[in-house]
Structure 1
Amino acid sequence: MYTPSRRGTGRPFRRGTFTASSSPRYSPWDKREPTEEELLKGTIGKIDTIEAPSPDAGVSADVSIKGFETVASYSWQDQQKPTIIVPGCPPVWRNRAMPYVVARDSGTVYTDQNAARLSASPLLPMISAVSHFAPEFHLADVDFVTDRNGLRKLWRWAVNDPKAGTFRIDIDMVGEKTILMQRWDLELTQQGGPGYEKEFEAASTTPGPGCELAVGHHRIISYDLDGLKMLVRYKADACLPTEATKTPQSTKSTSSDPFADLISGIGRLSVSSRLAENKEVKEIKTSKGTLQIVSGGNFVPQSSLVELKTRSIHNAANIDWAETYPQLLLSQTPTMFVCIHERGTFQQIDKKTLHESELESYAREAQDGLRLLRKILGTIQDIALDAGDGAKLSLICRKGVRTMDVCERKEETGLLPKEVLDDFEL
C-alpha cells in the first residue's frame, strides 16, 4: 500500500469521431455511477493502493500557486471533423441591461467536449495548441499535464467531500518525468440540464472575432504548485470586452508560416492543407486520428476571464464556496459573476473576485485542500516514476472509500499519439 511522500516535485453520446482507445468515462453529472465492469474497462489489474493523506503529513504549512503564466488557448469549431481555432477566443460578455428572460436549458450539453469530439486522444488538442501558439514552451519541463477537472476530483477525495463520488483518472508516464492525466466520463454529453446556465451564457455573450462558429473555449495555463510544474486546461466561460476582442489578430507565433511552429513542435506528423471559408486549415494526421487546426481568434488577457454561475433568487446566498473557490483557484480565474434569476428572468449580477477580502476566509480554508492535493500528486508522481517511461496506469476511486486503486492499463490505450511523445524528451 502506497502512502504520500515528498519526493514528487439527443441521447447521451459515448464516443467521438474516431475509435476510442480508452474506455467509457464517468462524470459527477451522471445520474448513475459506473458499474465495476465499466470502471475497470481497459485495465489489466491492480498494482498499488494510495491511502487518503492525513492533513498533518509531509507538506509545508503553506502551499501556494506561483509562477503563473497563460500558455495557449483554443476554441472548438462546430464541424463534422474535429477542428480547433488557435488561439480562439472566449465568448465576449455583452453587459446587457437587466432584467431579461432566457429559456430553460435544453438540447445537448457537453460533459467533456474534448473527448466527445476527439475520443481517441482528448489531450491532443491541448498539446497541439501549445505547440502552435507557444513553441518556446518546453513540455519536457512539465511534471503534470491535466484538466482542471481531474485536480478538482482529487481535491474532493482528499478532503473527504461527499461530492467526490466514484471516479477514474487515466495517467501515462512520458519522457523523463512528465505525467499525463486524462479525465474519464461514462457519458460525454447529457440532455438539457436543471437550470438556465447554458441559455444564459448564449443570451449574455457574443462570439469573439473570428470565432463565430466556436462552441467552447479552452484555456491552457502553467504554474508551480509547491515544486510541481503544472500544465492545466480548463473551459473558460466568457471574457470581458477588451481591445483584443474588437478585431481578429494574428497568433503569437513569429514564424512566417503560422503553422510551421506547430509542425516542428509536434514531430513527425503527416500534414495536408486546404482552404475553407477563406481560412487556411491544417490537418494533423496521427495514429489516433486527424485534428484540423484553423489559425484565428484572439488571445485575451487572463484578467478579462469570467466564470459564470446562475442561481435562483431563492438560493442566491447559498453558494458552496468549499466547491466553488477551488474551481477558481486551480484555474486562477480572476472573476466570477453570480447571475441571479427568478424562473428565468435575470435581475442581478453579483460580481466576485478571487482575491477580494470577502473571500479571504474561503482562501484560508482552501489551504487544507491545496496541501492535501499536493500530497496526492507527489504520491502519484512517485508511483509513475517508479513504473518508468511508457507506463500506462489508471487511478480508481470508489465512492466513500478512502483508498484509491492504481491499476495498469492495456498497452494500446496510450493517451497521446506516438508522433507527439518526442516533445516530452529532455
Structure 2
Amino acid sequence: MASSASSSLRGIASGTLPQIWKHRLSVTRSVRLPIDIGQDDVPLVPQNVKYVASYNRTNDPQPTILVPGSPRQWLDLPLPLVVPCDVPDTPRIFAEAMLPMLRAADTIALSHPECAVDWSTIDVVADLGVLRTLLHWIHRFSNPHMPWKDVRGLESFGSRFDVQPTTGRTVLLHRIPPTPRRLAWGRKQRPHTSFGSDFERLATAPGAGCERGLEHYRAIQYDFGGLRLVVSGEVDACIPQDADPSSTSPPPAQAPIGSPPDPPERPALPPRSADIAVVPAGAFVPQSALLEIKTEGLRHDGGRRVHAWMHTWSRTYPQMLLSQTPTLLAAGRVRETFVRVRRTRVDADAFRAEAARWADVQRDLRLLVPMLRRFCGVARARGAPFTARAFKDRWAVQEVDRAREHWLLGPEDLERFAPRAGASWKVRNRTRTPREP
C-alpha cells in the first residue's frame, strides 16, 4: 500500500495517471513543511498548563493501571556508581497508551472535578513521542547540512504514527513502536547499546504503594500556538516528596516552564477504556518535582566527549518544554562508571533567556504548530484514520495497517469528543487552518 500511495502521488503530479485516479488526491496525499511562519521574537511556550491524569502500568493478566500512581523516586546515590551496559532486545514503548490515559483521566475527574477536561474543546491529543518525531523531522528537513541517513536519527524516534479523527474538532495522534531494522539478508541489526535504563533502575526506587507498577505516565493540557493540546508521556523520575503518600489532592496548575525492564509479553488492552481495571495507589506529584534523566559519555579525564549526542539541547529542551518537565539530570560516565550528575533547571529565568536565543530550536517549535494544523486538516477532510510516514521532504498519508486497528479508539471512547449543542468549531477551525498543499 505504501509503494502504491507514493507512486500515485507522483503520477498525479506529473499527469501520467488516468483521470479515474485523480479523485484519490483527497484520500491519499502528502503533508509538507510550511514555508512562511513569520518572524516572531517571542519564544513559543505552553500556556495555561493543567494536570489531567497520571497512572502506572502493570503486568497483571487483566489490564490494570495504578491511579494516580507515582514516578520512581530519585535516590541521589553517592558517586562513583558502576552500572553495567544494557542491550535492549525490544523498544521500551507502550504504544497503546491512549486507552489507559483516558481511563485514568475519567477516574481522577470523578473525585477531583477541577481536573476534568472538556474534550470537545481539545484540538490535538498526542503522545509526546509523536511530537518529538515531528520536531526531529522538522529539524533535519530545515537544516540542509545535516545528513538524512543516520542510525541515531529519525529511526530511533519512529518514523510513523497513526492519525485518527473524531466526531468533533479533536484529532488523535497515536505512537507506533519502531520495528527492528534489518540487514539486506534478513538478519536483525544489533541494537544500539545504552546505559540509560539500567542507570534509572539503580538510581531510583518505586514510589510508595506503586511497587507493582511499571512505567509512570502523565497527561497535561495546555495552549500552544493557538492550539489546545493534551499531551501524554512517560516520566523518568521525581524528587521525593515529604507529603503523605496517601494524599489525594491533585497538583496545582503550573507556570510554563527509571523504570524496570519490560516483560516479554504484555496483556492485550480491551476495546474500550471502561474495561481497564483501576487500583487506587500512589500519590499526586506536582509538576515542579518531575525529573528527566539523560546519560552521556565522558572522556577518561572527565571532560565531555565531543559526540555526547544524548545531551544535545536541540532535542532535550523541546522534549522537556512540551512535557513541562522542569529539571534535567545529566549523568556522566567513564565507561561503565558514573562519576557525576549535573542538575539543570530549564524553568530558571537565566536558562529561559538563553533558550530564547537558540534560533534553530525556536524555529522548530514555531513550525510544529502549522504542521499539526495541516495534519488536523487532512484528518478531518479524509474522515478516516490513516498512517503518516516520514520521507525526506514530506509525510506520506497511507492506510492504517489492519494489525494496528485495535490500537485506535472505539465509538464509545470517541463520544467524549463530540461537539456540544450549539458549538461552531467547524467555522472557527476553517478560518484558521491553512489550505492543504
- Normalising by structure 2, we get a TM-score of 0.71
Instruction: Find 1:150's aligned residue among 107, 130, 144.
Output: 130
SS in 1 for 2:34: coil
Contact 1:72-1:87 within 8 A present in 2 as well:
yes
Aligned pair partner of 2:415 in 395, 403, 422: 422
Q: Is the 8 A contact 1:172 1:181 kept in 2?
A: yes
Q: Shift in Å at residue 127 of structure 1?
A: 1.1
- How far did 1:111 drift? 3.0
SS at match of 2:357: helix
Amino acid at match of 2:102: I
1:374: which partner in 2? 369
2:314 to 285, 304, 322: 322
CA distance in 2 between counterparts of 1:231 and 1:219 reads 10
1:9 maps to none
2:276 is aligned to 291
The aligned residue for residue 242 of structure 2 is 243
Q: How far apart are the structure 1 equivalents of 2:209 and 2:376?
A: 40
Aligned to 1:160, the other structure's residue is in SS state helix
Deviates more, 1:173-182 or 1:348-357: 348-357
The amino acid of 1:407's aligned partner reads Q
CA contact (8 A) 1:219 1:236 kept: yes
Q: Where does residue 302 of structure 1 map in the other structure?
A: 287
Query: Which of these two proteins has the greater Rg computed from alpha carbons?
Result: 2
Q: Are residues 178 and 238 of structure 1, via their aligned partners in 2, closer, same or farther at CA, if it must alter by over 3 Å? A: same
Give the Cα separation in 2 of the matches to 1:292 and 1:248. Answer: 20
Unaligned runs of 5+ in 1: 1-22, 24-34, 116-120, 254-282
Is the contact between residue 386 and residue 399 of structure 2 (CA under 8 Å) also seen in structure 1?
yes
Matching residue of 2:382 = 387
Give SS of 1:367's match: helix
Listed one character per residue, the Cα deviations across residues 233-287 of structure 1 (whole Å, up to 9, x for unaligned) are 111000001124x52334759xxxxxxxxxxxxxxxxxxxxxxxxxxxxx99546
Higher helix share: 2
Alignment CA distance shift 1:363-1:36 (3 Å): farther
Checking the alignment, whether the CA contact within 8 Å between 1:340 and 1:348 is kept in structure 2 is yes
Q: Please list the CA deviations of residues 84-141 of structure 1 after superposition, one character each: whole Å capped at 9, or x if unmatched.
A: 111100000111122222222256564312x3xxxxx541011111111135221221
Question: Partner of 2:154 in structure 1?
Answer: 164
Name the CA distance, whole Å, in 1 between partners of 2:3 and 2:73: 42
Does the aligned pair in 2 maintain the 1:322–1:362 contact within 8 Å? no
Q: Secondary structure at the match of 2:28?
A: strand
Superposition map of 1:208-287 within 5 A: 208-244=207-243, 247-250=245-248, 286=271
Q: Structure 1 residue 291: deviation in Å?
A: 2.5
Which position in structure 1 is the counterpart of 2:66? 85
Task: Report the alpha carbon displacement of residue 377 of structure 1 after superposing the two structures with TM.
Answer: 0.8
Asked whether the equivalents of residues 88 and 193 of structure 2 are also in contact (C-alpha less than 8 Å), the reply is no
Kindly provide the amino acid, as one letter, of the partner of residue 178 in structure 1: T
Distance 1:299 1:76, change over 3 A: same
CA displacement, residues 322-354 of structure 1 (integer Å, 9 cap, x when unaligned): 111111111111000011122222221111111
Query: Partner of 2:133: helix, strand, or coil?
Result: helix
Deviates more, 1:198-207 or 1:349-358: 349-358
Distance 2:317 2:199 in 1: 22
- Shift >6 Å, 4+ stretches: 188-192
- In structure 2, the partner of 1:127 is 102
